[in-house]
Each structure stands twice: as C-alpha cells, then as structure tokens.
Amino acid sequence: MKASVGDRLIVESIHRGRAGRIGIVMALYHTDGSPPYLVRWLDEERETLCFYPGPDARIEHSWERLPESP
C-alpha cells in the first residue's frame, strides 16, 4: 500500500451493522509512501500518529476523486 499526503484512507468495518472509518493521510514517515501514516479521522476529529493499515483498508488517492462542484 502506497499513499500520499491528502489521500483518503478507508477502513471497512469487519462487524455487521457497523460503519467503517475514513481518514485523511496528513503525513508520511517514508518517502516511498509506505506505512505507517499520520491519519486524521473524519468521524472522531482526532489523529493516529502511527497507523499501519490492515487488510480491511484501502487508499483512495486524491487524484482519483472527481473535482468537487462549486
């Protein structure tokens, strides 16, 4: 998994009926974009300083998202 600052980190819930989590990659610790990441979680408005994504996580690159309408 490789990320850049500004990418979304989406963690799917493994429990039925529970929502997943979405975070924004705020900083990288490695220049190649590999984990761990500094992630700001949108649902809790807090940060995880050293997040290692598991198999239930995926990266949505900022360049993959459609531009927002004005």
* pLDDT (tens digit per residue) in 9-25: 999 877 676 668 999 99
Based on its alpha-carbon atoms, the radius of gyration of the chain, rounded to whole angstroms, reads 12
Of the candidates 39, 38, 34, the one whose C-alpha atom is nearest the C-alpha of residue 22 is: 39
Local structure of 40: helix, strand or coil? strand
Looking at residue 3, what is its pLDDT? 95
Position 6 pLDDT exceeds 50: yes
User: How far apart (Å, rounded) are the C-alpha atoms in residues 25 and 48?
Assistant: 10
pLDDT of residue 69 exceeding 60, the answer is: no
Q: Are 39 and 26 in contact (CB under 8 A)?
A: yes
**β-bridge mates for residue 9, sequence order:** 23, 59
The yes-or-no verdict on residue 59 having pLDDT over 70 is: yes
